[in-house]
């Protein structure tokens, strides 16, 4: 995961880039703040590649779980 860009003390609502800032209350809980990343979706080509994979077997039915796992894996790869 990314490094925090700042720290927040909910006790006194102080924010600082320094985790050990004197603004924070002693023994207070200091929470990390992160930037929000831009979501990256699948391209037309990536969707086509996933759809071209074999998601069914003549003896079984459509493998919806495998299909969902393939989409999840591709999105995780692009967004981490």
Same domain, 3 and 22: yes
Boundaries of domain holding 18: 1-36
What phi-psi label fits residue 7: left (phi over 0), alpha (psi between -120 and 50 degrees) or beta?
beta
Q: What is the pTM of this model?
A: 0.48
Q: Residue 55 — very low, low, confident or very high, per pLDDT cuts 50/70/90?
A: low
- Which residues have CB under 8 Å from 50's CB, separation 6+? 42, 67, 70, 71, 74
Residues in the chain: 80
Q: Is 1's pLDDT higher than 60?
A: no
pLDDT tens per residue across span 5-17: 899 999 899 999 9
Q: How many domains does the chain have?
A: 2
Do 1 and 32 share a structural domain? Answer: yes
Whether residue 2 is found in the same domain as residue 20: yes
């Amino acid at each position: 995961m990314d490094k925090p860009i700042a720290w927040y003390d909910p006790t006194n609502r102080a924010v600082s880039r320094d985790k050990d800032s004197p603004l924070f209350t002693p023994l207070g809980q200091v929470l990390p703040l992160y930037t929000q990343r831009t979501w990256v979706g699948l391209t037309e080509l990536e969707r086509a590649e996933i759809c071209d994979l074999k998601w069914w077997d003549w003896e079984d039915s459509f493998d919806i779980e495998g299909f969902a796992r393939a989409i999840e894996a591709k999105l995780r790869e692009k967004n981490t």
